[in-house]
């Protein structure tokens, strides 16, 4: 994958982080004045963890699994990127592919991607999934789409499938779909959208969905209170913009949205996502072009948000969970744990308020690409590893 490439000449990039960024009103004037915030000279260097962890294999033989959800009866709902959704039972037996999925443009980084259960799943059996949606005319264009469905027929099929959102425009690309779903406390759905790699300049424009986070009602349509609703030339679904390719997203301890996105050659970012804000891509970044060379105008620009934390070289992040349980000790509560595709390990990012104070490397000898990270109802962390014979794992001391 393109985002997994990096060069070892990171110090020059890190030194540029000493600049200051003046966070200000976005062009639409929807936020109040914000004091200028200092750009960190460098994010905390990842450190080995003192916590010794092991993994227990729950299941093996999933084909490029992408996302995991927990059913109420201790079973697991898993998506496979080639276009299948399966149920894994508590003993690790992998069930047949569920029926009822829509047409999926599987290939490259595209396919069947994230899945989450509705917060009232126990009563309504509703779930949400996102995928790469082919063009209606059968052409090569595609885009990220979000759908809802109910789990029915003895959990063998999806029924009442409804497309809630389709990213526009569609692009002939097999890259940068984004496609993480987060449901907020009001039931609204955040969906992360990549800029499709070839269309990075569109991430700065509000008349399209490329390089954006959108916020959607669970029945479809823009969520009430979105920052660009009623603004001429802006799409009402947009929550934030200037993103590259977000494959990690979760609500923080106070219910606000956080995301981690792939940088290019270096410059993966952890961002606290605020409505209407511009997160800079491709105008500002700590990364470089593949093969070298500056992208954009540096690492800071007025009116664009600084990352809370960044990684140079890239770790290629995917999947992120907030630790809310005591399973791993009090120090872990309120931390994010995310997967690294590139280095085949986990990272624990410890927060104090909105600041990262520690970045720990976990499971350094795992030796498998981590695609998804979730905290289960039992408080343990669960992982999906991305390979032709991917595994479902539980992380424990």
Q: For this structure, is 176 an active site residue?
A: yes
Distance (Å, whole) CA 103 – CA 89 = 26
Give which of 393, 361, 315 is closest to 51, Cα–Cα.
Answer: 361
Of 64, 176, 309, 347, which one is the catalytic site residue?
Answer: 176
What is the 3-state secondary structure of 170-237? CECCCCCCEEEEEECCCCCEEEEECCCCCCHHHHHCCCCCCCEEEEECCCCCECCCCCCCCCCCCCCC
Of all residues in the chain, what percent are helix, strand and coil, respectively (each to 5)? 5, 40, 55
Distance (Å, whole) CA 289 – CA 265 = 6
Give which of 325, 219, 321, 200 is closest to 263, Cα–Cα.
Answer: 200
Distance (Å, whole) CA 184 – CA 16 = 35
Give which of 308, 356, 311, 306 is closest to 14, Cα–Cα.
Answer: 311
Q: How large is the C-alpha radius of gyration of the chain?
A: 20
Chain CA centroid to CA 68, Å: 13
**How many CB atoms are closer than 10 A to CB 280?**
27
Task: Provide the token pair at 74.
Answer: 């201790």
Do the beta carbons of residue 278 and residue 241 sit within 8 Å?
A: yes
CA angle (258, 189, 278) in 5-degree steps: 45
Please name every residue paired with 192 in a beta bridge, in sequence order, or none if there are none: 213
- Could you give the residue numbers annotated as active site? 176
């Amino acid at each position: 994958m393109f985002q997994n490439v990096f060069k070892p000449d990171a110090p020059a990039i890190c030194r540029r982080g000493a600049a200051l960024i003046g966070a200000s009103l976005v062009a639409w004037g929807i936020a109040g004045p914000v004091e200028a915030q200092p750009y960190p000279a460098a994010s905390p260097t990842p450190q080995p963890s003192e916590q010794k962890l092991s993994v227990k294999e729950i299941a093996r033989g999933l084909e490029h699994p992408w996302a995991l959800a927990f059913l109420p009866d201790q079973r697991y709902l898993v998506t496979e990127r080639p276009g299948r959704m399966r149920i894994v039972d508590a003993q690790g037996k992998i069930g047949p592919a569920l029926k009822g999925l829509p047409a999926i443009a599987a290939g490259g980084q595209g396919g069947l991607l994230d899945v989450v259960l509705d917060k009232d799943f126990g009563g309504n059996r509703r779930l949400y999934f996102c995928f790469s949606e082919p063009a209606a005319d059968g052409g090569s264009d595609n885009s990220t789409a979000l759908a809802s469905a109910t789990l029915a027929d003895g959990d063998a099929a999806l029924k009442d499938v409804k497309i809630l959102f389709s990213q526009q425009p569609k692009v002939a690309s097999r890259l940068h779909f984004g496609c993480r779903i987060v449901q907020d406390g009001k039931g609204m759905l955040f969906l992360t959208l990549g800029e499709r790699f070839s269309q990075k300049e569109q991430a700065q424009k509000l008349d399209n969905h490329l390089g954006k986070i959108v916020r959607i009602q669970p029945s479809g349509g823009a969520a009430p209170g979105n920052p660009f609703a009623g603004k001429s030339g802006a799409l009402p679904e947009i929550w934030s913009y200037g993103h590259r390719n977000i494959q990690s997203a979760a609500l923080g301890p106070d219910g606000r949205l956080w995301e981690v996105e792939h940088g290019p050659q270096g410059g993966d970012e952890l961002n606290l996502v605020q409505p209407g804000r511009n997160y800079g891509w491709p105008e500002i970044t700590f990364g470089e072009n593949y093969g070298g060379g500056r992208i954009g105008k540096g690492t800071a620009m007025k009116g664009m948000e600084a990352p809370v934390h960044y990684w140079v070289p890239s770790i290629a992040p995917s999947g992120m969970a907030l630790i809310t349980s005591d399973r791993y000790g009090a120090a872990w509560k309120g931390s994010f744990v995310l997967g690294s595709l590139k280095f085949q390990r986990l990272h624990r990012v410890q927060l104090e308020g909105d600041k990262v104070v520690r970045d720990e490397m976990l499971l350094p000898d795992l030796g498998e690409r981590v695609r998804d990270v979730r905290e289960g109802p039992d408080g343990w962390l669960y992982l999906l590893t991305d390979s032709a014979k991917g595994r479902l794992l539980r992380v424990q001391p």
